[in-house]
Amino acid sequence: MLFISYGFLIFLAVVLTLYYGLPKRFQWPLLLIASYVFYGASGIGNLCYILATTISTGLLACSIQDLSDVQSRWLKEEGKGASREERKAYKHRIKKKRWRRLLLCLAIDIGMLAVVKYTGFAVCNLNGLLKALGSGRQLPFFEIALPMGISFYVFQAVGYAIDVYRGKYRAQENLFQFALFVSFFPQLIQGPISRFDQLSVSLFAPHRFDTRTVSLGLQRVLWGFFKKLVVADRLIGAVGILTKDAQTYQGCWVLVGMLLYGVELYADFTGGIDITIGIAQAMGITVQENFIRPYFSKSVKEYWNRWHISMGSWFTDYIFYPVSVCKPMLDLSSFSRKHLGERAGRRVPVYVSCLLVWAATGIWHGAGWNFLVWGLSNCVVLLISQELEPLYRRFHKRFPVAGTFGWRLVGVARTFFILCCLRTFDCYRDVPLTFRMLGSVVTSWNWGELFSPGRLLELGLTPADYGVVLLGILLMLGVSLWQRKGSVRGQIAKKTYGIRLAVWLLLFLMVLVWGSYGIGYEASQFIYNQF
């Protein structure tokens, strides 16, 4: 059931009506039922995966919490008369039990994700290795259908279990409420990857009907519809033509494809998140922002602080920090400082941790070498930029242009171009081909083809389509600039009723008239659903 479908709109209308029509104590149970109906619509078999994650993580987290409570009671009661060594030994035993249960939880959750997402990729590469070694033996190839949203809800559950182990908050004793946290349907498809302590505050609380809250939520849903239907879906066909026929579309066409894909991905992903946050807000539930004007970033580092924020913070909190302070990494740090010197030795553990994090980020996006190379390429760019910071400072000290509008604009354009180049690994899905296509930008000087009559129309876009896309880009740019002053919806809400009605009616008509629909007026799948 796609967000952009008649079936989902009917489903959402029924859920909202019941949500505010039923007594408040039934609101979160209704959301749990609705979430499982929504997820079950993608395939009844998929419910097995989300149930396995929910039950295993919920029970094991409670078990970890119970051990923590047992330790606290023992230290307050029986442990008072124990020696320091006895208390230390007792804590060590409890910690060891808690650690084993956390490992079991992670093994179940991440193991299940690895099996369904990476089995085919692993078998394919093992067969390639066997063939290269001259072995005639080949492993049977099979690929399991990837359950919808499994990367998102598994990471959400894993983060919860680790937080309980760290003592950040207590485990949720109500397994049904925990099931709602894992399966909350607006964020199930493409995130954001929520933290339990943030989402649970409003997720389980009763909410009364408030016209302003519901209106603001539905307005954001409408804005997400505009991005997805009017801009993103209109560009899908053109991007597909450019990337699937690499032999024909080289040189300048690679740059065109990079640009169009950058716009499509932004409109698609942020549009989906707008719909998620808007639906939640209409129910009085707060879901964290996942984007903060990322295309205004003046560096790749700044971009990743603004793009898919929940994913970036997840990898930082649960992989980078634990890896960078673990014993093997500390040993590596000592070894590096001893043999490479203090300055270089300090960098080695950080670089290794960064490479591991970005390798995991890449492979999380998909089971393919292109995603792994994409992740590592981002890491290399970030590390090079970090090493060049002293040079940047000296440059800006001599040429004080950093605060000027022109220099900021150069930084934004440079960052956008770098990221578009990196995204070509996602476009072509083949690492050698991607490098060849990027190389053709400088080896195949065919800019004249862009101005040949009718060439741009061969991408499946009419002049009217190009006009609509340009209008959509300008509107998204204008809204992003306006957001610097605060919530755009909040600012519009302060206008007169006539102006408010005209703005949202115009946006609705633009979606209705200019929306790019498929067969049966169903829109295409969101890009991040595949992850």
Please tell me which residue in 92, 339, 365, 396 is annotated as part of the active site. 365
Question: Could you tell me if 515 and 225 are in contact, meaning their C-beta atoms sit under 8 angstroms apart?
Answer: yes
Question: What was the pLDDT predicted at 529?
Answer: 54
Residues in contact with 152: Cβ distance below 8 Å, sequence separation at least 6, in sequence order: 187, 188, 189, 190, 191, 193, 531
Question: What was the pLDDT predicted at 228?
Answer: 94
Tokens of 478: 């204008």
Which residues of the chain carry a pLDDT beneath 70? 1, 518-531
Question: What was the pLDDT predicted at 345?
Answer: 80
Q: What are phi and psi of 326, to 5 degrees?
A: -70, 160
Q: Is 207 a catalytic residue?
A: no
Q: What are phi and psi of 321, to 5 degrees?
A: -65, -45
Tokens of 36: 């499982």
Question: Could you tell me if 265 and 423 are in contact, meaning their C-beta atoms sit under 8 angstroms apart?
Answer: yes
- What is the spatial distance between Cα 3 and Cα 275, in angstroms, rounded to a whole number? 8
Instruction: Look up residue 445 and give its amino acid.
Output: W
Question: What was the pLDDT predicted at 74?
Answer: 86
- Over residues 34-84, the pLDDT tens digits come to 999 999 998 898 899 999 999 999 999 999 999 999 998 888 887 777 888
Work out the angle between the directed axes of helices 252-282 and 405-428 (0-180°, nearest 10): 100
Question: Could you tell me if 305 and 314 are in contact, meaning their C-beta atoms sit under 8 angstroms apart?
Answer: no
- What is the spatial distance between Cα 362 and Cα 378, in angstroms, rounded to a whole number? 9
- What is the spatial distance between Cα 161 and Cα 101, in angstroms, rounded to a whole number? 10
Question: What was the pLDDT predicted at 520?
Answer: 42
Please name the residue ranges forming H helices in 366-404.
Answer: 369-387, 389-398
Integer Rg of the chain from CA: 26
Question: Could you tell me if 353 and 323 are in contact, meaning their C-beta atoms sit under 8 angstroms apart?
Answer: yes
- What is the spatial distance between Cα 264 and Cα 229, in angstroms, rounded to a whole number? 10
Question: Tell me, what DSSP letter sits at residue 226?
Answer: I
Closest by CA position to 365, among listed 422, 327, 326: 422
Closest by CA position to 389, among listed 421, 334, 347: 347
Work out the angle between the directed axes of helices 175-183 and 27-40 (0-180°, nearest 10): 50
